[in-house]
């Protein structure tokens, strides 16, 4: 496994890469909100024959933050990843795999740019987080208020690395080992202890989201065969989203897998088994 960086119009994007066997199929894996590329390391170890490319989304891990006037709009991440795929200059379209937020991003990319991917895999992700029309004004106001509140907020300093790992474990309903993997890539030493690398602005709300109708249209445009893995003990809103948008995924298989939201870190062997069946 090696760490690399690539210059994009929006800044430097860092990524982990393992080469796999000769002429291996490429899997580009996109992590979830406040996670990082290391999220997929346990799964990669179960599927070493593939060529894995695992980027840190902007604002996460070792990738650049947005500039001082910038924000983290969902649709901008889509452009970042399309630029990233283009910059890799792959000989064949890759498998696009996404967990949580990464799954929503891969869904949109697959719908808007079907020629750029071979197959689509979603891990505890389905559809998109959409805007409820009747709460639009209140939701927009809440999002802008959250941005303002974060302007003067400083990051917490953990005196000990163990404290940071425990905090990540508690925040994400994940086991200690998974929390450690995520923490080690997302923390830096500062005066007084350890500080998270993630941009604090990631915690701001989204002032504008797509409607159900827009999301359904994008999903309906997906041409790639799609595998959706839903965690037995994952978030209910993701299961609800699958029920809402399942009819729009034209060519998909949905499988329930054990574990919580980070099932690919809890049970990488079982997730790998499903991937092998699908990717053959």
> Is 144 among the domain residues?
no
Confidence at 22, pLDDT banded by 50, 70, 90: confident
Cα–Cα distance list, 254 to 48, 70, 165, 192, 275 (Å): 24, 37, 33, 47, 12
Assess whether pLDDT exceeds 80 at residue 172: no
Ordered strands of the 193-196 beta sheet? 157-158, 193-196, 187-190
CATH number at residue 12: 3.40.50.1820
Predicted local confidence at residue 155, as pLDDT: 83
Distance between CA atoms of residues 217 and 245, nearest Å: 10
Any domain includes 112: yes
Q: Is 234 domain-assigned?
A: yes
Q: Is 76 exposed, middle or buried (0-12, 13-18, 19+ CB in 10 A)?
A: middle
Could you read off the pLDDT of 194-220 as tens digits, one per residue? 999 999 999 999 998 999 999 999 999
Angle at 150 between CA 144 and CA 156, to 5 degrees: 155
**pLDDT band of 224, cuts 50, 70, 90:** very high
Q: Which residues pair with 83 in a beta bridge?
A: none
| Per-residue pLDDT at 103 | 98
Cα(160)–Cα(105) distance, rounded to whole angstroms?
Answer: 34
| pLDDT for res 47 | 98
- Nearest alpha carbon to residue 82 among 52, 106, 66, 101: 106
- Domain extent at residue 10: 2-133+211-279
* Residue pLDDT, tens place only, 234-272: 999 999 999 999 999 999 999 999 999 999 999 999 999
230 forms beta bridges with 256
Q: Considering the domain boundaries, does residue 149 fall inside one?
A: no
Instruction: Write down the pLDDT at residue 84.
Output: 98
Q: Classify the phi-psi angles of 212: left when phi > 0, otherwise alpha if psi is within -120 to 50, otherwise beta.
A: alpha
**By C-alpha distance, which of 90, 39, 76 is closest to 208?**
76
- Tokens (6 digits) for 154: 């400083």
Distance CA 126, CA 238 (A): 6
Residue 127 falls within a domain, yes or no?
yes
Query: Cβ(176)–Cβ(169) under 8 Å?
Result: yes
Residue with tokens 């982990």: 16
Task: Give the total number of structural domains in the chain.
Answer: 1
pLDDT digits (tens, 9 = 90+) for 97-145: 999 999 999 999 999 999 999 999 999 999 999 999 899 999 999 999 9
pTM: 0.95
184 assigned to some structural domain = no
Phi, psi torsion values for 114, nearest 5 degrees: -60, -25
Tell me, yes or no, whether 260 lies in a domain: yes
The token pair that represents 226 in the structure block? 């799609």
Task: Kindly indicate the confidence band of residue 171, based on its pLDDT and cuts at 50, 70 and 90.
Answer: confident
Residue 191 lies in a domain: no
- Tell me: the pLDDT tens digits for 30-84? 999 999 999 999 999 999 999 999 999 999 999 999 998 889 999 999 999 999 9
Percent of the chain with pLDDT over 90: 91
């Amino acid at each position: 496994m090696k760490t690399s960086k690539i210059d994009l119009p929006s800044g430097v994007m860092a990524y982990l890469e393992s080469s796999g066997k000769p002429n291996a199929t490429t899997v580009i894996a996109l992590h979830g909100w406040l996670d990082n590329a290391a999220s997929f390391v346990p799964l990669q170890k179960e599927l070493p024959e593939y060529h894995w490319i695992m980027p840190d989304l902007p604002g996460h891990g070792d990738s650049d933050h947005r500039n001082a006037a910038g924000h983290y709009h969902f649709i901008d991440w889509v452009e970042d990843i399309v630029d990233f795929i283009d910059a890799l200059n792959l000989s064949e379209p890759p498998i696009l795999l996404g967990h949580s937020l990464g799954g929503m991003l891969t869904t949109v990319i697959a719908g808007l740019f079907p020629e750029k991917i071979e197959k689509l895999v979603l891990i505890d992700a389905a559809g998109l987080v959409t805007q409820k029309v009747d709460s639009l004004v209140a939701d927009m106001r809440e999002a802008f208020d959250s941005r303002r509140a974060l302007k003067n907020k400083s990051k917490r300093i953990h005196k000990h690395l163990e404290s940071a790992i425990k905090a990540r474990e508690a925040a994400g309903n994940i086991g200690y080992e998974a929390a450690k993997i995520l923490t080690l890539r997302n923390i830096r030493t500062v005066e007084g202890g350890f500080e998270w690398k993630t941009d604090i602005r990631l915690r701001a709300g989204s002032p504008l989201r797509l409607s159900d109708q827009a999301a359904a249209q994008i999903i309906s445009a997906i041409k790639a065969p799609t595998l959706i893995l839903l965690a037995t003990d994952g978030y209910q809103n993701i299961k609800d989203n699958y029920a809402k948008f399942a009819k729009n995924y034209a060519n998909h298989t949905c499988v329930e897998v054990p574990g919580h939201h980070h099932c690919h870190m809890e049970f990488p062997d079982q997730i790998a088994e499903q991937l092998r069946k699908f990717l053959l």
